[in-house]
Amino acid sequence: MNAHEIDYQIFGEEMQYVEIELDPQEAVVAEAGSFMMMDSDIQMNTIFGDGSNQEKGVLGKLFSAGKRMLTGESLFMTAFLNMGQGKKQVSFASPYPGKILPIDLSEKNGKFICQKDAFLCAAKGVSIGVEFSKKLGRGLFGGEGFIMQKLEGDGMAFVHAGGTLAKKELASGEVLKVDTGCIVGFSQTVDYDIEFVGGIKNTIFGGEGLFFATLRGPGTVYIQSLPFSRLASRVLASIPRGGKDKGEGSLLGGLGDIIGGDRRF
């Protein structure tokens, strides 16, 4: 194997974390902000890019880091290396309520495609890059833009899904239609495109967006019930304007906003 062979255990239900067990000189890489705790013999180092074997020379590292910038991620990642004599543990936590999904890339033919903010951590040697959409419509309206994240190699990687996680096994030619924000990831054999909802009433009054994603098999698809964008929009909508209580649960709450001039049409 090119990637380090790591053991792991996932704890929790709604707010999960993954504990990774490292043998001496084994390492794991993670995005900034996902670290939770580690044993004292584990050394933490900031690295340029993802530290995979695919980065050849200075230009290779610059190209790899530049691609990460397109996904909105940092140029740097953090590597956690076991410098001790025995097995040591390091843990990484979910950023918001949901499930941590372990991906064995050796079982995915060496590649898995996921939304750009889903990656949590991976064995050192796994390449964390970008997947460019070759279809203009998918890029403009697909929710994730022209760019998704791709994980390549033969080791373990971990991604995070919001809410409840659904796994769908699609047969050849089978199509699944999904809200664009609800996609966690899919195997490389799945064809991903977008489709117009259609219909005047659906378009104007449907409230579900103008497009949904179509995923055509064969392959495995992972769907999340609570995209972070949906969670964030509900939180922002519930924040009182001007520091005033919106009166949730009150029959006069909405009427009070109108009378008080806080609600505009």
Q: Say what the alpha-carbon torsion angle 121, 127, 132, 138 is, to the nearest 10 degrees.
A: -40
Listed residue (124, 102, 128, 158) closest to 4, CA to CA: 124
Taking CA atoms, 210 is separated from 72, 135, 179, 201, 257, in Å, by 25, 17, 10, 11, 30
What are the pLDDT tens digits along the chain (265 aa)?
578 889 999 999 888 999 999 999 999 999 888 999 999 999 999 887 666 655 555 566 666 556 656 556 667 789 999 999 999 999 999 888 899 999 999 999 999 999 878 899 999 999 888 876 655 455 455 444 457 889 999 999 999 999 999 999 999 999 999 887 889 999 999 998 877 665 555 445 444 556 778 899 999 999 999 887 777 777 787 787 665 555 544 444 554 454 444 544 4
For residue 259, being part of any structural domain is answered with no
Max Cα distance, the chain (Å): 70
What pLDDT is stored for residue 167 in this prediction?
95
145 phi and psi angles, rounded to 5 deg: 70, -160
Taking CA atoms, 73 is separated from 7, 47, 68, 230, 240, in Å, by 26, 14, 6, 20, 31
What pLDDT is stored for residue 265 in this prediction?
44
What pLDDT is stored for residue 72 in this prediction?
60
For residue 262, being part of any structural domain is answered with no
For residue 245, being part of any structural domain is answered with no
What pLDDT is stored for residue 202 in this prediction?
47
For residue 243, being part of any structural domain is answered with no
What pLDDT is stored for residue 76 in this prediction?
79
For residue 2, being part of any structural domain is answered with no
For residue 27, being part of any structural domain is answered with yes
* pTM above threshold 0.85: no
Taking CA atoms, 124 is separated from 175, 176, 254, in Å, by 35, 33, 53
CATH code for the domain of 76: 3.60.160.10
Counted domains in the chain = 1
For residue 200, being part of any structural domain is answered with yes
Q: Is 112 in a helix, a strand, or coil? A: strand
What pLDDT is stored for residue 137 in this prediction?
52
What pLDDT is stored for residue 39 in this prediction?
96
For residue 118, being part of any structural domain is answered with yes
What pLDDT is stored for residue 242 in this prediction?
62
Residue 77 domain boundaries: 7-238
